[in-house]
């Protein structure tokens, strides 16, 4: 069973983190998202274990399913599998994250309403619709409270999605330390792809060719009304501040 799980967040940079980590010889990870603790729980632990790659002594088994972070039942379920599971959450500016989330949906369903109209319950009063998942996910402090009922804060590592782009080796250093791994992944593993606007691997796991994340990553965001962006910034600010306090980390989103 996995000793470490990337539990969130959607559109935060979880795929990049996992791909980067897989370069490490002591990390073995499931390719696809198992969604065990949110959608497939009734299939049982034996089913889940079958999905895991075979590992040797000293290797770490991992999986990532970003929707765990916002799933009410997930913390208790993971804790009942193993109280010692290490958890990793990749977070990014909740406003950018919401726009990225919307962009992804838009690419699949071009006829959805505008970002602006989905953001507000009532545009005139400026009341924000917190039931819309794109907005809901970014209220990190609220979701984290649920996890802290089952796991000590020291067992959860918070990775900055922004720093994963600007300084991938630095963030990967923190992740390797947290997982108790030798710091094997360093800046010599990365190059910056100017077209995509983010770092790529010089050599991916099991290949000698450079590897960038697929076409679905780094999509161009639609232009969003600046007033709406500002409203969202104001809305998230108190939650962000609380999140900084809870994690002891200032992510610099304001």
Binding site listing: 11-15, 92, 100, 217-221
Residue 83 makes CB contacts below 8 A (sequence gap 6+) with 151
Polymer length in residues for the chain: 254
80 with 36: CB under 8 angstroms?
no
Q: Dmax over Cα atoms in the chain, in whole Å?
A: 60
Q: Yes or no: say if 246 and 141 are a contact pair by the CB < 8 Å rule.
A: yes
Catalytic residue among 11, 196, 215, 242: 11
DSSP state of 151: S
Sign of CA dihedral 163, 169, 172, 174: negative
Is 86 noted as a catalytic residue in this protein?
no
**Binding-site entries for 3'-phosphoadenylyl sulfate:** 11-15, 92, 100, 217-221
> Any alpha helices (H) in 74-154, and if so which ranges?
74-81, 94-108, 115-119, 133-136, 140-148
The C-alpha atoms of residue 6 and residue 34 are separated, in whole angstroms, by 11
Q: How far apart are CA 80 and CA 66, in angstroms?
A: 19
**Bridge partners for 29 per DSSP:** 62
Distances (CA, A) of 58 to 8, 11, 17: 25, 31, 21
Tokens of 51: 């999905």
Active-site amino acid positions: 11
């Amino acid at each position: 069973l996995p000793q470490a799980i990337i539990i969130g967040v959607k559109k935060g940079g979880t795929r990049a983190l996992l791909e980067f980590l897989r370069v490490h010889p002591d990390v073995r990870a499931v390719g696809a998202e198992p969604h065990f603790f949110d959608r497939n729980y009734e299939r049982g632990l034996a089913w889940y274990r079958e999905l895991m790659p075979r590992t040797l002594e000293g290797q770490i088994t991992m999986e990532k399913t970003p929707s765990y972070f916002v799933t009410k039942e997930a913390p208790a379920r993971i804790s009942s599998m193993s109280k010692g599971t290490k958890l990793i959450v990749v977070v990014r500016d909740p406003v950018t994250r919401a726009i990225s989330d919307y962009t992804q949906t838009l690419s699949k369903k071009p006829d959805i309403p505008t970002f602006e109209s989905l953001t507000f319950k009532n545009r005139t009063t400026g009341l924000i619709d917190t039931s819309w998942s794109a907005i809901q996910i970014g209220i990190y402090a609220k979701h984290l409270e649920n996890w802290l009922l089952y796991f000590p804060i020291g067992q959860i590592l918070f990775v900055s999605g922004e720093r994963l782009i600007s300084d991938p080796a630095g963030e990967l250093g923190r992740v390797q330390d947290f997982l108790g791994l030798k710091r094997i992944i360093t800046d010599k593993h990365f190059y910056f792809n100017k077209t995509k606007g983010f770092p790529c691997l010089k050599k991916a796991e099991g290949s000698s060719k450079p590897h960038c994340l697929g076409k679905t990553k780094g999509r161009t965001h639609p232009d969003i009304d600046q007033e709406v962006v500002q409203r969202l910034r104001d809305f998230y600010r108190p939650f962000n501040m609380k999140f900084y306090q809870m994690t002891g980390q200032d992510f610099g989103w304001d």
